Amino acid sequence: MKSYFKELWMHVPSRMDFVNITDDVERALDESGIQEGLCLVNAMHITASVFINDDESGLHADYKRWLEELAPHEPLKRYRHNMTGEDNGDAHHKRQIMGREVVIAVTRGKLHFGTWEQIFYGEFDGMRRKRVLIKIIGE
């Protein structure tokens, strides 16, 4: 069994946004040479997420609205976490909802997706550098 990893560095200029990283993950899979196995894609920060869904702008706008309704950024005093000097209590909740990572099957050297599926990095406390781990194992 072979193993391969790569890190992507993200710098999202807004507080919350979604970045399609499917092409980056496919490039990493090509670099790995793995034909059959599993690909893990993991947000390496507690206020960011990786998820799979459709690359459709209306859906992304709906996600942003929905997440802000569930865990609004303000008022800052809403979150006890913010009493420690932070202002990102909402971002931790948003990450919890959207998830930490995804695992995609690798078949014949390709990511084995369903119709319309794409991989996204979700940023909930942006404007600074964060990492995404791609870990691929298989034959």
pLDDT in the model for residue 135 = 98
Banded pLDDT at 72 (limits 50, 70, 90)? very high
Strand stretches in 12-109, DSSP E? 17-20, 37-43, 48-53, 101-107
Q: What is the DSSP letter of 36?
A: S
**Two tokens at 61?**
């706008």
pLDDT in the model for residue 113 = 98
pLDDT in the model for residue 44 = 98
- pTM for the whole thing? 0.97
Report the alpha-carbon distance of residue 138 to residue 103 in Å, rounded.
13
Mean pLDDT of 126-139: 98
Query: For the chain, what is the domain count?
Result: 1
Residue-by-residue DSSP string for 83-122: GGT-S-HHHHHHHHHH-SEEEEEEETTEE-PPTT-EEEEE
Percent of the chain beyond pLDDT 90? 100
Banded pLDDT at 16 (limits 50, 70, 90)? very high
Query: What is the per-residue pLDDT across 36-56, written as a single tens digit (0 to 9) for each?
Result: 999 999 999 999 999 999 999
pLDDT in the model for residue 50 = 98
Given a contact cutoff of 8 angstroms between Cβ atoms, the answer to whether 97 and 51 are in contact is no
**Two tokens at 84?**
């420690």
Query: What is the per-residue pLDDT across 74-100, written as a single tens digit (0 to 9) for each?
Result: 999 999 999 999 999 999 999 999 999
Find the domain containing 66 and state its range.
2-138
Q: What CATH number is given to the structural domain containing 84?
A: 2.60.120.460
Amino acid sitting at position 2 = K
Report the alpha-carbon distance of residue 133 to residue 135 in Å, rounded.
6
